[in-house]
Each structure stands twice: as structure tokens, then as C-alpha cells.
């Protein structure tokens, strides 16, 4: 070491010692033990280069000590399993839902921050987003999972059913992303996970609105992915992941059987949740399709329609939702008959005066009106 180098002192910062060396009349700083020499500098320099390479090409990795996870629709089904899986990892988890489980409910997850939020309402999403930032912190992992379904033909769907399904399944993702993405960009750390469906690539009959909403989520993910920068490089610090599972064993499609339990089995929500948390932990981007047949469904979009029609007929995909509609009708009829029977029993036990009976008969009935109730009774 030259005399000039000997005059340079050590700089202490906590437990880290920074030593300055003079190499070729230039000052070069490196952290480490002053007794190890330039070899330690090379080790640390190599480690820094590897970390920078990982940051640019791989991006952020899920860290339960740093990241705050928000799951929409996290009170039941897949959302509940996602909230539980991230909580078991030790992460701070926030749930947006309109049905909040009580502490004695089996869907309640200890330690999760539950917020009542109708994600189809943009004003409520912004309001709850501000509350989360003030009370919990900045969300860095956003999982758009909320969804509903209405299995019916397009002509039999009401305008309200169409608007509600699109608002919950599709528009809510726009609202949550606009609410939480700016904070992620400021921190240069974020993960946006979109839960779509394989039905976004091939939708059966009687699921026009649901299939359209899932196709919209796939397109939203693709466009947002490129808006954040080239997918090859993680320039802004925010990553996106699209998850397209097949049919899940949840109440959403209760009573619907898949065309083939061999090639298209029903998926356990916990199985899908474990795949999602594994992908986020590894820093994966792109798409995750479960089960395997989901990887070949996009190919059918480029096949001539006569061939697709034959394949749809063989698979029986267009008949799956008939059972869903039939079950819904049977449930409605059973509920109507049950209510009519109970009302008849109540009237026999507690007879009313003629004026009261007349006034009740003029009251509109919620289950199909007076004529319908007379027929069912």
C-alpha cells in the first residue's frame, strides 16, 4: 500500500466497516474486513452483480417479512385458501369481501385483516384502499380473485345479472390495480396476480357472461404486462402473473360435473393456492394453467370452427351447464314449496281475521306473486 493509501482511515457505519484502497491512483470502496484484502472485494462485487442481474431479469421474490398481500373475495373458496396459505408463510394478509366470516366460522383465518368491500364499486375500493394504507401498510402483492357466475342463456339473463357479473369478475380488477399499482411503482416492488379461468379460452354454452369476463382478465393481464415494460426485463419492479385454473371444487359451480374426470378433473382450491404461492415465491411471471389441458386450450382458438365444433361435441362441454341450470331451478322450486308449506302451517296454527287475511293477500309476494303461491300450495 502506498503512503497515500496509508493515510486513508476506516469508515465505521454500525457493524459494517468500509475500507478505502488506492488502486491505480483511484479510490475503490468495498465492504468487508480490512484484513482480507482485495479478494473479499471481488467476492462482494460478484455478489452485487448477481443481485443486480437477478433484479433485472427475475425481479422481486415474495418476502413474507416485507410484503403485504391483498386477496379480493378471500372469505371462501380459492380466496380463503390463498389467504390461509400466505398467512401460514408469515405474511401480512388483507381480505376484501362482502361476506366477512366470524371468528367461529370455518373460513375465518387467524391474523388476517378483513375489510368489508364491494369490489364492483370503485369509490368503495378507493376508500378501503386508503384505510389499508393507513392501518396496515402499502400492498405489494395484489391477488384479484373475486368472482361470481350466472349459468343461463343470454336471452334469459337479466341486464342486472350481466352488469353485476362483469363488474365483479372484470371491472373490479381495473379498480384494484388503479388503486394499488401507484404505490407499488413508488416502492419499485409489486406483484399483481390475476385469477382468470381456462373458460376464458373456451367457454361452454350458458356461460357467455362468465366466459367473457375471464377472457377480459386474460387480455387485461397481457396488456398490463407490456405497459409495465418489456417482460424480459423487470425495469419498474412490478411483476404480473396470470393463473388459469380449471373447474374448482367450490360452491361457485356446485352440481356441475366436468366432461371428463380423467382429462379435466375438478381441482382442490388448496392445490391451486399452493401452486400460486409457489410461483410467487419463485418470482414467476407469465401464466400458470391448471390442469395440463389448460396449456393446449389456446391452440383451439386458431383451429377452423368445424373442427372445434366436433371436439366440443365429443367432449360434451356444452352440456355441462345444463345440470347447473336444472339444479338452480330445482333449488328454487324446493324453496318455494317449503315456504308455502310453512306459511300454510302457520295460518292454521294462528288464524287471522278476515280483514287481515285480505290485506295479506293483496301484499306482493317475492316468490312469483300470489298466483304462483296458490299453485305451489
Give the DSSP letter of residue 295: G
- DSSP category for residue 117: -
What residues does 22 pair with on adjacent strands? 27
- Asked, for residue 223, whether it belongs to a domain, the answer is yes
Nearest to 258 by CA among 336, 306, 316: 316
Q: Which helix (H) or strand (E) holds 166?
A: helix 159-166
Residue 253 lies in a domain: yes
CA distance 321 to 208: 11
Identify the bridge partners of residue 141 per DSSP, sorted by sequence position. 69, 191
**Which CATH number characterizes residue 110's domain?**
3.40.50.720
What pLDDT does residue 124 have?
98
Rounded to two decimals, the pTM is: 0.73
Task: Give the pLDDT confidence score for residue 146 in this predicted structure.
Answer: 96
Mean pLDDT calculated for residue range 204-224: 94
Residue 147 lies inside a defined structural domain of this protein: yes
The answer to whether position 110 is within a domain reads yes
Question: Is residue 89 in some structural domain?
Answer: yes
Residue 22 inside a domain? The answer is no
Per residue in 332-344, pLDDT (tens digit) is 343 334 344 544 5
Distance separating alpha carbons of residues 255 and 249, to the nearest angstrom: 10
Decide: 93 and 118 in contact? Cβ < 8 Å.
no
Work out the pLDDT band at 96, boundaries 50, 70, 90: very high
With respect to residue 161, please indicate whether it lies within any of the assigned structural domains: yes
Residue 175 predicted with pLDDT over 50? yes
Domain count, the chain: 1
Q: Would 7 be classed as within a structural domain?
A: no
Show the domain range for 174.
68-320
Give pLDDT tens digits for 279-292.
999 989 889 999 88
pLDDT in tens, 292-335: 888 888 888 788 888 878 877 777 777 766 655 544 444 334 33
Q: Which residues are catalytic?
A: 210, 214
Distance CA 349, CA 240 (A): 62
As a whole number, mean pLDDT of residues 253-276 equals 76
If you count DSSP H runs as helices and E runs as strands, how many of each does the chain have, helices first? 12, 10
DSSP 170: I
Amino acid at each position: 500500500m502506498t503512503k497515500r493509501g496509508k493515510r486513508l482511515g476506516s469508515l465505521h457505519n454500525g457493524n459494517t466497516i468500509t475500507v478505502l484502497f488506492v488502486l491505480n491512483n483511484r479510490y475503490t470502496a468495498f465492504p468487508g474486513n480490512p484484513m482480507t484484502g482485495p479478494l473479499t472485494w471481488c467476492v462482494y462485487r460478484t455478489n452485487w452483480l448477481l443481485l443486480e442481474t437477478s433484479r433485472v431479469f427475475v425481479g422481486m421474490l415474495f418476502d413474507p417479512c416485507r410484503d403485504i398481500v391483498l386477496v379480493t373475495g378471500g372469505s371462501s373458496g380459492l380466496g380463503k385458501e390463498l389467504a390461509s396459505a400466505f398467512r401460514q408463510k408469515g405474511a401480512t394478509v388483507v381480505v376484501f369481501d362482502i361476506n366477512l366470516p366470524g371468528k367461529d366460522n370455518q373460513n375465518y383465518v387467524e391474523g388476517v385483516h378483513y375489510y368489508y368491500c364491494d369490489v364492483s364499486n370503485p369509490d368503495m375500493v378507493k376508500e378501503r384502499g386508503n384505510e389499508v394504507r393507513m392501518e396496515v401498510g402499502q400492498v405489494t402483492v395484489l391477488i384479484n380473485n373475486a368472482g361470481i357466475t350466472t349459468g343461463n342463456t343470454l336471452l334469459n339473463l337479466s341486464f342486472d345479472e350481466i352488469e353485476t357479473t362483469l363488474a365483479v369478475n372484470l371491472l373490479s380488477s381495473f379498480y384494484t390495480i388503479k388503486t394499488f399499482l401507484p404505490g407499488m411503482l413508488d416502492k419499485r416492488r409489486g406483484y399483481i396476480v390475476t385469477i382468470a379461468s381456462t373458460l376464458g379460452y373456451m367457454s361452454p354454452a350458458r356461460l357467455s357472461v362468465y366466459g367473457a369476463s375471464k377472457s377480459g382478465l386474460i387480455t387485461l393481464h397481457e396488456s398490463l404486462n407490456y405497459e409495465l415494460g418489456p417482460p424480459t426485463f423487470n425495469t419498474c419492479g412490478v411483476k404480473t402473473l396470470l393463473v388459469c385454473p380449471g373447474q374448482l371444487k367450490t360452491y361457485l359451480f356446485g352440481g356441475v360435473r366436468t366432461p371428463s374426470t380423467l382429462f379435466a378433473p375438478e381441482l382442490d382450491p388448496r392445490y391451486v393456492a399452493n401452486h400460486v404461492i409457489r410461483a410467487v415465491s419463485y418470482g414467476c411471471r407469465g401464466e400458470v394453467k391448471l390442469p395440463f389441458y389448460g396449456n393446449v386450450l389456446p391452440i383451439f382458438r386458431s383451429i377452423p370452427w368445424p373442427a372445434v365444433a366436433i371436439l366440443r361435441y365429443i367432449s360434451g362441454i356444452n352440456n355441462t351447464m345444463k345440470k347447473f341450470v336444472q339444479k338452480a331451478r330445482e333449488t328454487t322450486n324446493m324453496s318455494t314449496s317449503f315456504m308455502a308449506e310453512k306459511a300454510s302451517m302457520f295460518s292454521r296454527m294462528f288464524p287471522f281475521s278476515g280483514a287481515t287475511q285480505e290485506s295479506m293477500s293483496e301484499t306482493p309476494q317475492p316468490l312469483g306473486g300470489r298466483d304462483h303461491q296458490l299453485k305451489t300450495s
